[in-house]
């Protein structure tokens, strides 16, 4: 077994390969000062899109008409990488209580 190539272009071309590499890159770079200002879900989308774009260039499968599909696929990778819950549910879930006295909620935080 060759321990020099843990991730290959063939693996990166798969959905899970793109998700894994996107998650790794986001976790590695998200603490940089100029990236901290970008919400994580949008930074994840940018990383996913560039992963897909670069992979298509490396495999000579890039087409201008495929850019739209890359955009859609990057959104799918973003949902998977960050958890679709953050996108779909976070706006409708109840607010967490900040103070509970005798099992009675007295205040909610925004």
User: Domain containing 24: what range?
Assistant: 9-108
> What pLDDT does 91 receive?
58
User: Is there a domain that residue 89 lies in?
Assistant: yes
In the block, tokens 């298509």 appear at 56
Q: Is residue 4 part of a domain?
A: no
2 inside domain: no
Q: Is residue 96 part of a domain?
A: yes
CA–CA distance, 69 with 66 (Å, rounded to integer): 5
User: What percent of the chain stands above pLDDT 70?
Assistant: 73
The count of domains in the chain is 1
Q: How far apart are the first and last CA of the chain?
A: 53
* Mean pLDDT along residues 49-64: 93
């Amino acid at each position: 077994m060759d321990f020099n190539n843990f991730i290959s272009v063939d693996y990166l071309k798969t959905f899970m390969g793109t998700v894994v590499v996107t998650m790794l890159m986001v976790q590695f770079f998200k603490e940089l000062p100029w990236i901290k200002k970008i919400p994580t879900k949008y930074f994840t989308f940018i990383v996913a899109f560039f992963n897909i774009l670069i992979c298509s260039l490396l495999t000579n499968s890039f087409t201008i008409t495929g850019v739209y599909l890359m955009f859609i696929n990057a959104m799918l990778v973003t949902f998977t990488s960050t958890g679709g819950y953050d996108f779909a549910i976070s706006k409708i879930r109840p607010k967490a209580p900040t103070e509970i006295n005798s099992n009675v909620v007295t205040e909610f935080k925004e």
